[in-house]
Amino acid sequence: MTGVRELLRRPLGHFTERSLAGLALILGAGVGFGLLLVLVRVEWTPLYDVDHGIAARLNELIAPIGPLVTVLTAITDLGGRPVIVWLVSVAVVGLLIRKQGRLAMYVIVTGLGALVLDPSLKALVDRLRPEVDVPIGTYAGQSFPSGHALGSTVAYGAVLLVFLPAMAPRWRKPAIALTGLVVFLIGFTRVALGVHFLSDVLGAWLLGAAWLGVTAYAFRLWRLERGRPPASFTEGLEPEAARDVTPAPDEEKLLPHARAGIAELLVGWVLIFGLLYGFGMYVSYHAGGTFFERLDTAVPDWFDAQRTPTGDDVSYWWSKVGDTHAILLISLVFCPLVLAVWRRWRPVLFVALTMFGELSLFLASAAAVDRPRPPIENLDGPMPTSSFPSGHIAATMCLWLAIAVVVFPRTDRWWRWVFVALAVVMPVGVAVSRMYRGMHHPTDFMGAILLTACWVGLLYWVIRPNADVHGGNQPAIESEEVDTLDDELAKAGRPA
């Protein structure tokens, strides 16, 4: 009997020890933030000197190095509100689809807490941003604490705790270390770019760690109250949910005959580039007196004569639907939804390679052909790339066609036709707007069609994105809940 009691006490004792240690760390982070807040608020001279000295020194070292500034700016964007909102939103939607409402609520509450704390404390402290000799970063609002550092600490930390059970034990510590490195680099860039003082970033890290610890500890106590066994934070918040939070199972053959597939894609890419180059050179410089020349002359002139202020505004927003930011945003929303609903990596690989191939083929063809824009007023002004083929049209066409290819055979619900319609309407709208604005010839549109048809067709043949459908793969949701998901999936398919 004594032995049984000892066995029961050990887990409880370990839980108590870990809990006390965790509480001590949370309290330590909270006290550290409170002390730093007071020192910043009273403008303690030693802290003031260190902050301004580091800001000036880093600005002196970094500002003259343009490529380094570009890299730091790219890293700092990982902690910006658009990325954080995307990360939290995708995590919440995925968890809800997988029926992990408690974990979704944890992510929501933790994220909202950081969203409230940041502007509240900035307004309370009302600290000015650093003044450096060569401004190289953009910012808005007050300085303490750093919103990027706070948001990244909380968002990346919360998502890590939720999805840790999906990882093999040997990968959990490296994942924690990698997340910590990303959070550190984001904070460092805020100081290096001269938009925050060192104490702003340190305060944000301490506050983020304290808030993340409080919410995680509350979740842990909730588990204990409901009879769940105590678990270490290195196992994640809900170890029992490992299967549901795993994005997709390991697929033994993500690409059948991978080496042959890669070779086929490389050879296909070269052939498609050659086809685009040949067609582009012909319509750009050797089509005099042909139907193509008459078309490329008449259509821009006709659009130029139809311009109105309202048409200019409408065409501007239609063009935006096909720009890099919109295409990237829609891709980053669609791919996690595919993982959440169908639990397969191959469709995601298909979409990712579609967009990568489109971008590389467009850039290579535009540089090789170097076609001038139509000889009418270009409403978007000078562009860094040439006219053939249209990158906006090709990107829009590739994205929505790839989405339709993935979605249509995977459901018999009515909303699959929404994606088919979008695959037609969105590229046509972008094409009309680009030609209206004087940015492309009709044959640039033809080039985009050629690029899309060849590249998406090649990928479909090599990747087989819907191979799992023929194997009977079903959505990762109960059949009676499909109706409740219809509106959300249809809404996700529409442009932002």
Quick: pLDDT tens for 330-345: 998 898 888 888 888 8
Residue 313 sits in the same domain as residue 391: yes
Residue 203 sits in the same domain as residue 97: yes
Residue 308 sits in the same domain as residue 241: no
Q: How confident is the model at residue 421 (pLDDT cuts 50, 70, 90)?
A: very high
Average pLDDT of the chain is 83
In a domain, residue 311? The reply is yes
How many other CB atoms are there within 10 angstroms of residue 352's CB atom?
Answer: 14
Q: How confident is the model at residue 495 (pLDDT cuts 50, 70, 90)?
A: very low
Residue 126 has pLDDT above 60, yes or no: yes
Residue 119 sits in the same domain as residue 65: yes
In a domain, residue 448? The reply is yes
Q: Give the whole-number percent of the chain exceeding pLDDT 90.
A: 32
The helix or strand, by DSSP H or E, that contains position 191, with its residue range, turns out to be helix 169-192
Show the tokens assigned to 145: 């604490």
| Range in 84-93, 132-141, 382-391 with the lowest mean pLDDT | 132-141
Provide the domain limits for residue 226.
2-245
Question: What does the pLDDT average to over 464-472?
Answer: 76
Q: How confident is the model at residue 470 (pLDDT cuts 50, 70, 90)?
A: low
Last residue of a domain, one of 188, 219, 245: 245
Residue 152 has pLDDT above 80, yes or no: yes
The reported pTM is: 0.78
Residue 97 sits in the same domain as residue 220: yes
Residue 297 sits in the same domain as residue 234: no
How many other CB atoms are there within 10 angstroms of residue 115's CB atom?
Answer: 19
pLDDT 10s digits, 472-483: 555 554 433 444
Question: What does the pLDDT average to over 396-420?
Answer: 92
Residue 238 sits in the same domain as residue 262: no
| Range in 87-96, 308-317, 475-484 with the lowest mean pLDDT | 475-484
pLDDT 10s digits, 33-73: 778 777 877 778 888 888 888 888 888 888 888 888 888 88
Amino acid at 245: V
Cis preceding-peptide flag for 389 (omega within 30 of 0): yes
| Range in 27-31, 307-311, 354-358 with the lowest mean pLDDT | 27-31
Helix axes of 291-305 and 442-463: crossing angle, nearest 10 degrees: 110
Helix axes of 169-192 and 66-77: crossing angle, nearest 10 degrees: 120
Residue 79 sits in the same domain as residue 192: yes
In a domain, residue 28? The reply is yes
C-alpha 270/C-alpha 368 separation (Å) is 13
Domain count, the chain: 2
Residue 431 has pLDDT above 90, yes or no: yes
In a domain, residue 251? The reply is no
In a domain, residue 414? The reply is yes
pLDDT 10s digits, 164-177: 888 888 888 888 89
Compute the 3-state secondary structure of the chain and give helix, strand, coil in percent, each to the nearest 5: 75, 0, 25
**DSSP secondary structure of 78-122:** TTSHHHHHHHHHHHHHHHHHTT-HHHHHHHHHHHHHHHHHHHHHH
Measured over the CA atoms of residue 357, residue 359, residue 364 and residue 366, the dihedral's sign is positive
In a domain, residue 486? The reply is yes
Residue 58 sits in the same domain as residue 198: yes
In this prediction, residue 494 carries a pLDDT of 44
In this prediction, residue 23 carries a pLDDT of 60
Last residue of a domain, one of 245, 267, 282: 245
Q: How confident is the model at residue 253 (pLDDT cuts 50, 70, 90)?
A: low
C-alpha 433/C-alpha 438 separation (Å) is 9
In this prediction, residue 222 carries a pLDDT of 79
**In terms of pLDDT, which residue wins out, 11 or 324?**
324
Q: How confident is the model at residue 16 (pLDDT cuts 50, 70, 90)?
A: very low
Last residue of a domain, one of 245, 276, 302: 245
Q: Taking Cα atoms as reference points, which of 104, 260, 128 lies closest to residue 197?
A: 128
- Angle in degrees, CA 247, 250, 255, rounded to 5: 110
What are φ and ψ of residue 246, in 5° steps?
A: -75, 120
Torsion from C-alpha of 490, 491, 493, 496, nearest 10 degrees:
170
204, 153 contact by CB (below 8 A)? yes
In a domain, residue 250? The reply is no
In this prediction, residue 12 carries a pLDDT of 41
At 348 the three-state DSSP class reads helix
C-alpha 460/C-alpha 261 separation (Å) is 11
**DSSP secondary structure of 217-256:** HHHHHHHHHTTPPP--GGG-S-GGGHHHH-SSPPPTTSST
Residue 167 sits in the same domain as residue 302: no
Residue 106 sits in the same domain as residue 216: yes
C-alpha 249/C-alpha 233 separation (Å) is 23
Question: What does the pLDDT average to over 11-20?
Answer: 45
C-alpha 477/C-alpha 93 separation (Å) is 13
The length of the chain in residues reads: 496
Residue 234 sits in the same domain as residue 310: no
Q: Taking Cα atoms as reference points, which of 199, 197, 207, 201 lies closest to residue 187?
A: 201
In a domain, residue 480? The reply is yes
Residue 2 has pLDDT above 60, yes or no: no
